[in-house]
Structure 1
Amino acid sequence: MATEKLDVEKSSVELSSSVSDINLYTLHEERAGRLVVDPEEAKIEFGEAIASKLKLSHDGTKVLWPQPTDSPNDPQNWSEGRKTLHLLIITLAAIVPDFDSGIGIASLFQLAAQYNTTTEEINNLTSNWSIFLLGPGGMIAVMLMRRYGRLPVLFWSQIFALGFLIGCTFAPDLNTFAAMRCLTAVFGTAPQVSGLYIVTDLYPFHRQARMVNLWTMGFIVSPFLSPFLFGFLVARENWRWSYGIGSMYGAVVCLLIAFFMEETKYDRGVKDVPEPQSGLRYRIETLVGITGFRMAKYRASWKEAVMSQLNIVWRPHILGILIFEGVLFGFGIGMNVTNAVFLGSPPPLGFDWTPYAIAGGYGTPIVATVMGELIGRYLNDWIMNKSIKRNNGVFEAENRLWACYLAVVLDVAGLVLLGASIQKHLSPAGLIFGWGIAQSGVMICTVAVYAYCNNCFPRYAGEVSALINMARTMGGFAVAYYQVPWAEKNGALQTFGCEAAIVAGLFFLIVPLLQVKGRSLRAKFSL
C-alpha cells in the first residue's frame, strides 16, 4: 500500500510539473502543422489538467490557436469591429503595389509613343522589372518587421512608394520613369507580405483561411483594376493622369494607416515584455518606429531576421509548393501583362481592339477573382471542418491542399481555351471565359497555398508570405519576356497549352506527394 501511494504521489508530481512546463501560448508553434481543434480530443491528447486551461471559441466547439492571453491589449481579444477595420486597411494597402504596376499596362501604347519606343521595350524595361522587384522588396520588409513590428514598416514603406509613384507621374524621360517604377515596387510591396502576419495576429486558426482569402483577393485583383479603370481614361486624356490618380489612392492608404492602424505584433510567448500603452504620444512613437526600436531587444536578432527565410526555403514540404505556386501564379501575371498586347495588336497576332474595348476586357479577371474568392471562402472552411471531423478532431496542414485540385482543373482549362481563342480568333466569349476560368483557379490555389504554408510554419508567417511573394513574382517576371514572341512564332495555342501542361505536371509531381509524405516531412524538417 505504501508503494502504491508513493507511485500515485510521484505521478501526480510529474503531471503537475509537465503542466507547468507547457507554454500554451506557443504550443501551436511547437506542434507545427498539426492542431488539436476539438475540445474532447484535447482532453485525450493533453490530459484534463491542460485541456481545462485551453480557451475555446464562442460556441465552445473549437480550441483557439494561438491561445489568447487575458490582456485586452492582445489583438486576439480585440473587438470584431476593430479587427475588421485592420483587415480592410491591409487589404486596401495590399492593392497598392500591383495596382501601381498595372497602371503601366493601361498606359502601354501611350508610353511607347511618348518615349518613342515599342510596347515590348516598355514592358521589358518597366513592367517586368517592377514585377520582379516586388519579391526582394517583400523579403526586406519582413526582416524589418521581425525586429520593429508591422506598423512602422507598413507606414514608411507606403510613404516612400507614394513618393516614387509621384516621380513616375512627372518623369521627363524613359530612364527616370523606369527607375521610379522599380523603386515604387520595392517599397510598395510591404502590405503583400505583412497581411499574413496581421491575419494571424488578429484571428484564431479556424478563421484564418477565410480572412487570408479576403486579403489575397486584394492583391490578386489589383493588377487588373488599374488597366480596367485607367484604360478608359488614357483613351481620352494624357497617361500622366493615370499615375496622378494612382498617387491619390496611395495617399488615401497612407492616411488610413496613419490614423487607424495599430501595431498588431504582440509578444505573447515572451516573458517580461512591456504591455502596449495608450495616448497620442505612444501612438505617434509606434507609428514612426520609436516603440519598435525599443522593443527590438525582446525580438529576433538581426542574424535570425536575415537568415530565417533562407532557413525555411530549402525545406522540402515548402520548396515544392513554392515552385508550383510560382509557376501557376506567374502564368497569371504573364496573362495580365501580355493580354493587352494580344488584344490591341492587329491580326494575325491580336484582335485589334480599341482602347475602350481593351479596358472593358480587363473587367473579366476582376469578376473571376471575386468569384474565386466566393468559392474559396466556403470551400476552404468546408475542407477544414470535414478534415477535422475525419481526423478525430485534429487538423493536418496537408488537408489545405485539397483545394488545389479544383484550382488546377480551372487553370488548365482556362489557359487552353484562352490560347485557342487568341490563335483561332474565336468569339470574344471564348477569350473572356478562358481568361476568367484560369484566373478563378489562380485565386483558389493561392489561398490554399498561403494557408498550408502558414500552418506548416506558424512562427514564421511573414517569412512564408515573403517566399510565396518572391516565387510568384519570379514566375511573372519571366513570362512576359517570352509569351508574345513565342505566340508570334508558333501560335498562342501552343504557348498557353504548354503553360497548362507545365502547371498540370507540377501539380501531379508535388501536391499528391505532399499529402502522402507531408506529415513525415514536417516531423523531420519543421522549425
Structure 2
Amino acid sequence: MTLHALRIYHEKAAGRLVIAPDKARIEFGDNVLPQLKTTSDGTKVLWPQPFDDARDPQNWSDWQKHVQLAIVTLAAISPDFNVGIGIAGIQDIAETYGVSAEKITSSTTSWAVFLLGWGGILAVVLMQRLGRLPVLFWSQLLALGFLIGCALSPNLRTFAAMRFLTSFFCGVPQVTGLYVVSDVFPFHLQAHKLNVWVMGFIISPFFPPCALGYLVPRAGFRWAYGVGIIYNGIVVFLIALFGRETLLDRHDPAACDHVPPNTFANRVETLVGITGSRLARFRTPWKDLAIRSFRLMWRPHLLSLMLYEGFLFGFSIGMNLTNSLFLGEPRPLGYGFSQDAIATIYFTPIVSVLLGQLVGHHINDFIVTRAIRRNGGVYEAESRLWCVSPHITTDISPRPLRMRRSCAIALPIYVAGLIVSGAAFQNKLSVAAVIMGWGIREIAVMVNTVAIYAYANDCFPRFPGEISGLLNLFRTLGGFAMPYFQTTWARKRGSLQVFGCEAAIVAGMFFMIVPAVYHLGPKLRAKYSM
C-alpha cells in the first residue's frame, strides 16, 4: 500500500478501521507497518494518517486544536440561542405587536427554526470551495446585522423578516463543527470532541428562556435581543481573531504546499475568503458539490437514521417551543406560572444536557473500546448504535460482536420523559414531575444525537459537512411544525395523549430502524458507500 493510499484509507474503509497496530501488521503487511503513524503510546493507529508537515491541521498543537473546537462550539450556540430569545420574550413581543403568543410562535418562531436547517445546506457547498473559516465568519457577521434588526423592528412584519434572515445565516456553525472535528482530530478522539460540539447546539435553546426570562419582564424583549447581539458580537470577534482554516485536501499530495504562511496579511485574506477563492481551482468542482447532499441522502442506512433522529430531536424542539405556553397559560391548559418561575424551570434542561454530555462521553468511550477489543483490534461503525443484545458476526473476527448497552439506553429514558411530562401537564402534577420528565428526556436526546452523528460521520468520512447539514436539516424540519398543532391538540385531547403519541412514534421508529441498521450495516456500507 502506498503512502498516498494510507492517507485516504479511512475514507475508502467507510466505517471499518484497523485501530490496533498488531492487527494492522496482519491487515497491511510488515512492509507497511513502519509507515503507519500511531498515538504517542503506540496503542492506536492514527486515522487519517497525517502528512509529515506542521501545516497539516492533524499536526497542530493540542492547544490550537481545542481553540478551534471552542470557537465552533460557542458559534454553534448562537443559532438556537437567537431563536430562543423570541421564546423568552414571547409574551412581551405579543403585547408589543398586538397579537397572541400563539401567533408569534406559529408565524415567526417555527419558521425561524425551519430556516436554521437550509442555511447549513448552502454553507456546505461554499465551505468545500472557499474554506471553513470565511464562510463561518461572513455568515455570523450577516446574522449579527439581522439580529440587530430584530431588536429595532418597528412592526411584526419587519421583526419576522429579520428573524428569518438571522436564522438562515446563523445556522452555519451547526454544520461547521463536524468539519472542524474531522479536520483536526484523529478518529479515536472524534466522538469525545463531537460530544462537546453537540452539547453546544443542544443546550443553546434553553439559555434564553432561562437567563433572559428574568430580564424581559423588567426591561422588555428588545433588551433581551441586546444581550444576544453582545454574545454574537463576541463570537464574531473570536472567529476573526483566533479562527484558522482547517480545510486540507488529503487527496492532493501537495496539499500542504497550498497553505499560505502564517502572516497577518495572509490570515486576513484567509478570513475574508481571498485565499479560498485562489485555491478553489484545486478543489471539488461546483457541479459535484451541488449534488453531493442529494446523492448522500438516499443511502438507506443514513436516510433511516436521519428520519429517526428528525422525529426524536424534532419533538424535543417542539417541546421547547411550546413549554413556555404550557407553563405560562392559566389552567386548565397550563400552570399559570410567572415569567420568573418559568425562567427558573428552564434550568432543568441545561443541567440535563450537561449530565448527558458527561454520561455520553464515558458510555461512547466504553462501548467503542470494548467493541474494538472484542473485534480483534478493528472498529466497526455499528458499535455506535448500541442495539439491545445484538449479535453480529463480521468477516474480521470469528467472534460475534455483542453489545448489551444500547441506543435503547436513550430510548426508554426518552419515552419515560415524554409520558411523565404529558401526565404532569394534563393532571397538573407537582412541578417536580415537569422537571423530572423534561430532564431525563434531554439526557436521552444528548446521548442519542452524539451516537447518530458519530455513526453517520464514520460511514461517510469524506463528507462530514454534508452529513452534518442533512442531520441538521432533518432535526429542524422535525421540530418546526410542532407549534402548529401541539398546543391545539393538547387543548382538545390533553397533554398525555399528545406526548404519549409522540413517545409511541419514536419507540416504533426505533424498533423498525435501529436494529435493522445495526445488523445490516456492514452490508449497507459496502454497497452504498461513497
1:71 corresponds in structure 2 to: 53
Q: What does 1:440-451 correspond to in 2, within 5 Å?
A: 440-451=443-454
- The 8 Å contact of residues 178 and 468 in structure 2, kept in 1 or not, is answered as yes
Is 1:306 aligned with 2:290? Answer: yes
- The 8 Å contact of residues 3 and 35 in structure 2, kept in 1 or not, is answered as no
1:358-393: per-residue Cα shift (whole Å, max 9, x none)?
111111100000000000011101111011001101
Partner SS state of residue 376, structure 1: helix
- The 8 Å contact of residues 332 and 476 in structure 1, kept in 2 or not, is answered as yes
Partner SS state of residue 133, structure 2: helix
Is 1:499 aligned with 2:502? Answer: yes
Provide the rounded CA distance (Å) in 2 between the counterparts of 1:342 and 1:512: 35
Is 1:86 aligned with 2:89? Answer: no
Partner SS state of residue 236, structure 1: helix
Q: 1:209 aligns with which of 183, 186, 191?
A: 191
Is 1:155 aligned with 2:137? Answer: yes
Provide the rounded CA distance (Å) in 1 between the counterparts of 2:308 and 2:31: 43
1:357 corresponds in structure 2 to: 341
Provide the rounded CA distance (Å) in 1 between the counterparts of 2:259 and 2:423: 60
1:322 corresponds in structure 2 to: 306
The 1:364–1:404 alpha-carbon spacing in structure 2 relative to 1, beyond 3 Å, is same
2:326 corresponds in structure 1 to: 342
Q: 1:411 aligns with which of 393, 411, 414?
A: 414
2:459 corresponds in structure 1 to: 456
- Alpha-carbon distance, 1:235 to partner: 1.6
Provide the rounded CA distance (Å) in 1 between the counterparts of 2:421 and 2:335: 13
1:269 corresponds in structure 2 to: 251
2:127 corresponds in structure 1 to: 145
Paired amino acid for 1:512: P
2:23 corresponds in structure 1 to: 41
1:191-224: per-residue Cα shift (whole Å, max 9, x none)?
1000000001111001000100000000100000
Provide the rounded CA distance (Å) in 1 between the counterparts of 2:329 and 2:355: 29
1:288 corresponds in structure 2 to: 272
Paired amino acid for 1:409: P
Paired amino acid for 1:79: S
Deviates more, 1:384-393 or 1:402-411: 402-411
- The 8 Å contact of residues 89 and 220 in structure 2, kept in 1 or not, is answered as no
> RMSD in angstroms over aligned alpha carbons?
0.8
Structure 1 unaligned segments of length 5 or more: list them.
1-18
1:120 corresponds in structure 2 to: 102
- The 8 Å contact of residues 73 and 276 in structure 1, kept in 2 or not, is answered as no
- The 8 Å contact of residues 75 and 201 in structure 1, kept in 2 or not, is answered as yes
Provide the rounded CA distance (Å) in 2 between the counterparts of 1:524 and 1:315: 10
Partner SS state of residue 133, structure 1: helix
- Alpha-carbon distance, 1:23 to partner: 1.4
2:237 corresponds in structure 1 to: 255
Q: 2:375 aligns with which of 372, 388, 391?
A: 391
Partner SS state of residue 6, structure 2: coil
- The 8 Å contact of residues 164 and 183 in structure 1, kept in 2 or not, is answered as yes
Partner SS state of residue 227, structure 1: helix
Partner SS state of residue 24, structure 1: helix
2:390 corresponds in structure 1 to: none
Q: 1:237 aligns with which of 201, 219, 225?
A: 219
Q: Percent same amino acid at aligned positions?
A: 53
1:163-185: per-residue Cα shift (whole Å, max 9, x none)?
00000000000000000000001
- Alpha-carbon distance, 1:22 to partner: 5.4
Give runs of ≥4 in structure 1 deviating > 3 Å.
none
Q: What does 1:215-234 correspond to in 2, within 5 Å?
A: 215-234=197-216
Partner SS state of residue 353, structure 1: coil
Is 1:436 aligned with 2:439? Answer: yes
- The 8 Å contact of residues 196 and 462 in structure 1, kept in 2 or not, is answered as yes
Return the TM-score normalized by structure 2. 0.95
1:74-120: per-residue Cα shift (whole Å, max 9, x none)?
11111111111111111000000000000000000111111111111
Paired amino acid for 1:277: P
Return the TM-score normalized by structure 1. 0.96
Provide the rounded CA distance (Å) in 2 between the counterparts of 1:511 and 1:501: 15
1:302-332: per-residue Cα shift (whole Å, max 9, x none)?
0111100000000001000000000000000
Is 1:198 aligned with 2:180? Answer: yes
Partner SS state of residue 409, structure 2: helix
- Alpha-carbon distance, 1:404 to partner: 1.6
- The 8 Å contact of residues 4 and 253 in structure 2, kept in 1 or not, is answered as no
Provide the rounded CA distance (Å) in 2 between the counterparts of 1:82 and 1:291: 21
Is 1:512 aligned with 2:515? Answer: yes
Paired amino acid for 2:434: L
Q: 2:385 aligns with which of 401, 406, 410?
A: 401
Provide the rounded CA distance (Å) in 1 between the counterparts of 2:378 and 2:491: 52
Partner SS state of residue 49, structure 1: coil
- The 8 Å contact of residues 99 and 223 in structure 1, kept in 2 or not, is answered as yes
Q: 1:58 aligns with which of 21, 27, 40?
A: 40
Deviates more, 1:260-269 or 1:335-344: 260-269
1:431-458: per-residue Cα shift (whole Å, max 9, x none)?
1000000111001000000000000000
Paired amino acid for 2:457: N
- The 8 Å contact of residues 15 and 525 in structure 2, kept in 1 or not, is answered as yes
Paired amino acid for 1:356: D
- Alpha-carbon distance, 1:21 to partner: 7.5
- The 8 Å contact of residues 231 and 358 in structure 1, kept in 2 or not, is answered as yes
